[in-house]
Structure 1
């Protein structure tokens, strides 16, 4: 492990043990996290990420943490090695606890890790046979209980892909393991609603806001509007697709289920628009309400 490590208010060596074996974040994945990219020496959209971090903590029923201290920790991590810290991960775990699922009474641990990061320039995706449970107790939570996504990502990697796309339990298009998905068809761009079980992605929200703000035909799909079969339209060239995430930005899907597919013109404009805005608005303020559809 390399990079800059900040734990509970202090810097630690990157290879220093910092979490006890009985920590619930390790034993049962009882924690939440956020991953941010660094633009021009600043953590991009940090305020929005902290708002979502608090949402995840609340949904998990975890104790609150000092968001101002986390903000300062992120600043210190970037400042410690600004040339090499291009990605920052904030992890909050519930702390030491007893064996089993019940939590202990210890204060949560906050780990901020900054370092290099490399992502592909285009997305090669594949559909997976598993589904996202939109009725899960942690639907929409950025949880460290990530084993489900790991299994799907490994399935994708075995097929030469770098992202796995899934439906929800109703068969509607949902999301990728680490990204949201946008579909361009019939002269507009649509993305699955949060009711599908997908994560309220920071980039997803910004793309919707910035795109609509410039008059682009972009919207959240109605519940049930996007069947998983819309990806067949992408493979036939009748529609186009892109994924969004903090690390990928707006990235076209250029290969789907082993077939090369074209990049959509509207999605290309959307990607350029996102980069233009992100270069200027390094910490766009959050909206008053979460996208609830």
Structure 2
């Protein structure tokens, strides 16, 4: 299916002109976004995604979007899409702005809001590589889901070049951080651990739900303490004494079966976490 776009109360085709050339999201990456999976015509965990969208906007210095307008756009693109719709993207930018980084004065700002729907399907397993680039946990936009995605484009392009589908990064102090579009979970010694937010990783919605749902049923999944997961812990995955899983809005919880081109086993806790997430997802599409 093609991409369906909504903005300013109407639908657009993927080839129709929409954003002005001076949109600050285009010229300097001044914007935030959310990606949701779509199941049975419903955007999964939309309320949580909208909450994070507002948090990212405010963190970037933008005004939080009108939630009613966003929900209107979501309903419109899903209704106009075919049965294969599986992915939704909500983008908010600073709107028209100067060619440089500063924005127009507040009275002159007109933010742009776009909602897009298209195809997308979760991956049952993930294949990842390590890359030499790092996340800056002290960045001004650490933990915000911004449209400034060039670093991720470079890293995931390298992953695809090497036959993988995701790259996993350290932060500047050598801690395990995250993937380019996913959070990471490390299974060892009977626990499934995910890096803390202090590592600079995004507060992923799938990550958040897995922590909550695991706690409710007694599955040993927790946020690691700062410094507990070093990047070189991935050597243990290659050796077979630890296991890895990635989580994200489209891949859900996805055990890793290849790291740096070496086949690795999916860990039992990784598989159980995947099963738990799929079961709870079916119970409530807006948890």
TM-score (norm 1): 0.95
Contact 1:63 1:107 in 2 (8 A): no
Supply the distance in 2 between the matched residues of 1:159 and 1:85 (Cα, whole angstroms): 29
Offset of 1:117 from its aligned partner?
A: 1.8
Supply the distance in 1 between the matched residues of 2:245 and 2:94 (Cα, whole angstroms): 35
Supply the distance in 1 between the matched residues of 2:283 and 2:82 (Cα, whole angstroms): 19
Contact 1:207 1:270 in 2 (8 A): yes
Offset of 1:72 from its aligned partner?
A: 1.9
Question: Is the aligned partner of 1:200 residue 2:207?
Answer: no
Supply the distance in 1 between the matched residues of 2:122 and 2:39 (Cα, whole angstroms): 15
Contact 1:126 1:257 in 2 (8 A): yes
Change (3 A) 1:39 1:119: closer
Supply the distance in 2 between the matched residues of 1:278 and 1:121 (Cα, whole angstroms): 15
Question: Is the aligned partner of 1:149 residue 2:152?
Answer: yes
Offset of 1:106 from its aligned partner?
A: 2.4
Offset of 1:64 from its aligned partner?
A: 2.5
Supply the distance in 1 between the matched residues of 2:13 and 2:214 (Cα, whole angstroms): 42
Supply the distance in 2 between the matched residues of 1:64 and 1:35 (Cα, whole angstroms): 17
SS of the equivalent of 1:112 reads strand
- Which residue number corresponds to residue 30 of structure 1? 30
Contact 2:55 2:64 in 1 (8 A): no
- Which residue number corresponds to residue 251 of structure 1? 254
Which of 265, 269, 272 is equivalent to 2:268?
Answer: 265
CA RMSD of aligned residues (A): 1.1
Question: Is the aligned partner of 1:162 residue 2:131?
Answer: no
SS of the equivalent of 2:236 reads helix
Supply the distance in 1 between the matched residues of 2:13 and 2:7 (Cα, whole angstroms): 10
Question: Is the aligned partner of 1:109 residue 2:112?
Answer: yes
Long gaps (5+) in structure 2: none
Give the 4+ runs in structure 1 shifted more than 6 A.
none
SS of the equivalent of 1:86 reads strand
SS of the equivalent of 1:103 reads coil
**Deviations 1:19-48, CA, capped at 9 Å, x for gaps:** 011111100011000000111210000000
**Deviations 1:180-223, CA, capped at 9 Å, x for gaps:** 00011001111000000000000000000001110011110000
Change (3 A) 1:276 1:120: closer
Contact 1:3 1:85 in 2 (8 A): no
Offset of 1:67 from its aligned partner?
A: 0.9
Supply the distance in 1 between the matched residues of 2:34 and 2:136 (Cα, whole angstroms): 21
Matches within 5 A, 1:1-293: 2-104=2-104, 105-284=108-287
Q: Which range moves more in the overlay, 120-129 or 133-142?
A: 120-129
Supply the distance in 1 between the matched residues of 2:183 and 2:89 (Cα, whole angstroms): 19
Offset of 1:63 from its aligned partner?
A: 2.0
**Deviations 1:83-121, CA, capped at 9 Å, x for gaps:** 132111001111011110011232111110101124543
Long gaps (5+) in structure 1: 285-293
Supply the distance in 1 between the matched residues of 2:129 and 2:99 (Cα, whole angstroms): 37
